[in-house]
A and B are shown apart, each in its own frame.
Chain A
Amino acid sequence: MFPIVAHEELAPNVHRMTVKASVVAEKAQPGQFVILITDEKGERIPFTISGWDAARGTVDFVYIEVGKTTRQLGALRPGDELAHFVGPLGKPAEVDHYGHVVAVASGYGAAAILPVLRALKEKENRITTILQAPDRERAFCAEELEQASDRLILALGSPGEEMTVSATRPLRKILANHPQNPVHRMVVMGSLCLMRVISEMTRPYSIKTMVHLTPLMVDGTGMCGACRCSIQGKNRFACVHGPEFDGHEVDGWDVLMARRCTYADESILQQSFQCRGCSQW
């Protein structure tokens, strides 16, 4: 059993959970994820690691209440225990000295991208971060992002179909100054729609754009193939070959998004999730 040591609400329906799991904390790296099960009848669900403390043996992640299991998580308190907690899964994010890195985050990505930004900072990159959120109240982790970046741009905008527009506006400005004020690399963590839109924006500039794909997963160790994605015509398992991929090499966005929604139904709490083009709506 894995005890919950801290649990705080960052914004409405958004929580940070800290779990004691020393085996995971010992090996965690930026961009990796865990899979947890709340109780013996629970499902295996993945969350990106947003921080860890190897000395104390704790791991934390930030989650949004969107459905059955995340709502269940929301009701747990420090001292309660999770039945299972496995990780760190997936490959760590690629981190090196690139120069000027532009990061775009939305949703839980705002927290999940923090370890990646800190590692990029350690490699002496200059970081510009665009944080997309519906409004200031829901722009959680803004302070941490500000500390981890050289510059933070808040892109606030209404949810729904306009959602991705707010982040693309500041990015368009940045790209307009490229290559005089060059962008050497992009990292995006957010909804599949946002990652797709950003990848298409940077493609004409040939700026390498890393995205963190979140297909449905079951085992998370390469056994089931549920998470397969088409990358340059080849099937790749997001749980072992990813979840970070070069966004310009992802060639199955439509299929990926349709598969992501296989189990989407009326129970979804997050209205903005019902995006256009989705196979289930």
Chain B
Amino acid sequence: MSETKETGPSEETGKKKVKMNLNRLEMPKQEPEVRRRNFDEVATGYTYEMTMEEASRCIQCKKRNCQQGCPVNIDIPDFIKHLQDGNIEAASKVLKAKTSLPGICGRVCPQELQCENSCTLNKKGAPVAIGRLERFIADWERTSGAVSKPELAPSTGKCVAVVGTGPSGLTVASDLAIRGHQVTMYEALHVAGGVLMYGIPEFRLPKEIVQREVQYVSSLGVDIHLDTVIGINYSLDELLNTKYQAVYLATGAGLPQFLRVPGENLNMVYSANEFLTRTNLMKAYLYPEYATPVKMGRKVAVIGGGNVAMDSARCAVRLGAQEVYVIYRRTRQEMPARLEEVENAEEEGIHFHFLCNPTGFISDGRNNVSAMELVRMKLGEPDASGRRRPVPIEGSEYTMDVDTAIISLGTSPNPLIASTTPDLETSRWGTVITDERGKTSKARVWAGGDIVSGGATVISAMGEGRRAASAMHEFLSQ
């Protein structure tokens, strides 16, 4: 694949000098013209040979920079060493020791900000493609059928409830089940997996992979109750007063935010959550085989600049929209979306409009959206987050014809549990307040993932789950 392979300067690693290969191997992808028409996975993954070639680039640094950059501290040099030795099973064991969801992390983690950013090779050239290697190992294990299952500790007789089946909840459930506790999970929706199922599209994260991980967790003896809303079917106090010694809250940040501008409720103005839920969770792209429809116009505006906006725009293209515009009020540099996904979106023909912000939606006279009013923005002084704050330019108003709009501004925690649990301390933004090990203000209750962070990443939701699980285990062992 990489014909321009060159050998870079050498680097001190321990005592011996090693030659470095500074070019990473690209991962094969579906051609943009093809993938615009389907929901199949965009990146098809390394082959065995490619994996071996890429793994050979790792120089096995003593300092383990990559591992320090990993939010769950995966022993990255060790699993790559096993790959270099051709022992994929051993590599998989190393991965599984720190993450129960490698097939997912390998696909959606922002490695460019984490392990790969810290990789020694990144100083001189392209870092080792750690995420792609992780993905290969997980897929190899899945397709070879040799799923390694950890040994379960003898039953402690203690019962734990985990609320929410996203990555954070799944992590706590598996960690505590392995330590011998009886875990029951509660999920409001009809499928387990959280955002991995309802938000992130099939073409980035095949749902079969998510369901494999869910099955793995239930194979550890975890009971999963779907269609059960905590705060409605059982209150948090009911869980604590009946069967459970401890509860972990991982209900995510599912409440969509809106722009609060005139016309925002017109027909064909979607929240990203509705649009993505119809498309991904309910599989509207397979309508009418699947019963849920999703209506898509010809000219679509997606408002926002994060991963959610990229996913919405790319789903819109695949559902047959002719023109898709991403409308973002800052510039490309400030976009929170992963660079790789922005590039993918561009290749798929999505247009980006920076430094503009909608101020209203206009009706076609029959309450369908027909146009959007916008104002141009410029970047002012940095705000609390350090990003320069966008300010409207007076007199720069203009309109743009659109027949569909998808509001992808981000989300905040659903207030359902907090509002039915008066003694659970929450912040101004509705997030649950915890200490660094996930303990909330309420006795016997821990929390983690997006309900605490307000919206972050799969790996951080997992990492918080891992820390809380060890704290919960200590508590349950007293």
Q: What residue in chain B is nearest A281 (Cβ atoms)? A: B366
- Rounded to whole Å, the gap between the CB of A267 and the closest CB of chain B is 10
Q: Is the C-beta of A68 less than 8 angstroms from some C-beta in chain B?
A: yes
Q: Which residues of chain A have a CB within 8 Å of any CB of chain B?
A: 23-24, 26-27, 37, 41-44, 68-69, 83-89, 218-219, 221-226, 228-230, 235, 240, 252, 254-255, 257-259, 262-263, 279
Question: With A41-B290, A43-B292, A279-B367 in contact, is A223–B256 under 8 Å at CB?
Answer: yes
- Rounded to whole Å, the gap between the CB of B451 and the closest CB of chain A is 13
Q: Is the C-beta of B389 less than 8 angstroms from some C-beta in chain A?
A: no
Q: Is the C-beta of B291 less than 8 angstroms from some C-beta in chain A?
A: yes
Q: Is the interface of B mostly helix, strand, loop or mixed?
A: loop
Whether A279 lies near B267 (C-beta < 8 A) is: yes
Please measure, in the bound complex, the distance between the C-alpha atom of A219 and the C-alpha atom of B277, giving whole angstroms.
Answer: 8
Q: Is the C-beta of B266 less than 8 angstroms from some C-beta in chain A?
A: yes
Q: Which residues of chain B have a CB within 8 Å of any CB of chain A?
A: 188-190, 198, 226-229, 232-233, 254-256, 258, 260, 264-268, 270-271, 273-274, 277-278, 282-283, 288-293, 295, 366-368, 414-416
Whether B273 lies near A235 (C-beta < 8 A) is: no
Which B residues are CB-close (under 8 A) to A223? Answer: 198, 254-256, 273, 277, 414
Please measure, in the bound complex, the distance between the C-alpha atom of A224 and the C-alpha atom of B270, giving whole angstroms.
Answer: 9
Partner of B229, one of A26, A221, A228: A221
Whether B228 lies near A86 (C-beta < 8 A) is: yes
Whether B271 lies near A88 (C-beta < 8 A) is: no
Please measure, in the bound complex, the distance between the C-alpha atom of A69 and the C-alpha atom of B291, giving whole angstroms.
Answer: 8
Q: What residue in chain B is nearest A72 (Cβ atoms)? A: B291
Q: What residue in chain B is nearest A221 (Cβ atoms)? A: B188
Partner of B416, one of A69, A85, A222: A222
- Rounded to whole Å, the gap between the CB of B463 and the closest CB of chain A is 24
Give me 10 A-to-B residue pairs in the complex whose CB atoms sit less than 8 angstroms apart, sorted by A's number: A41-B290, A44-B282, A44-B292, A68-B288, A86-B188, A86-B228, A87-B232, A221-B229, A223-B255, A235-B260
- Rounded to whole Å, the gap between the CB of B169 and the closest CB of chain A is 16
Which A residues are CB-close (under 8 A) to B273? Answer: 223-225
Q: What residue in chain A is nearest B267 (Cβ atoms)? A: A258
Whether B265 lies near A228 (C-beta < 8 A) is: yes
Whether A263 lies near B293 (C-beta < 8 A) is: yes
Given contacts A89-B229, A218-B277, 12 further A-B contacts (CB under 8 A): A23-B228, A86-B228, A86-B229, A87-B232, A218-B292, A223-B255, A224-B271, A224-B277, A225-B271, A240-B416, A255-B267, A259-B265
Which B residues are CB-close (under 8 A) to A224? Answer: 256, 271, 273-274, 277
Please measure, in the bound complex, the distance between the C-alpha atom of A255 and the C-alpha atom of B269, giving whole angstroms.
Answer: 11
Question: With A255-B266, A262-B268 in contact, is A222–B226 under 8 Å at CB?
Answer: no
Please measure, in the bound complex, the distance between the C-alpha atom of A43 and the C-alpha atom of B284, giving whole angstroms.
Answer: 9
Please measure, in the bound complex, the distance between the C-alpha atom of A231 and the C-alpha atom of B188, giving whole angstroms.
Answer: 26
Please measure, in the bound complex, the distance between the C-alpha atom of A258 and the C-alpha atom of B267, giving whole angstroms.
Answer: 6
Whether A263 lies near B271 (C-beta < 8 A) is: no
Partner of B190, one of A37, A228, A258, A262: A37
Please measure, in the bound complex, the distance between the C-alpha atom of A76 and the C-alpha atom of B233, giving whole angstroms.
Answer: 27
- Rounded to whole Å, the gap between the CB of A23 and the closest CB of chain B is 5
Partner of A226, one of B271, B283, B288, B367: B271
- Rounded to whole Å, the gap between the CB of A31 and the closest CB of chain B is 14
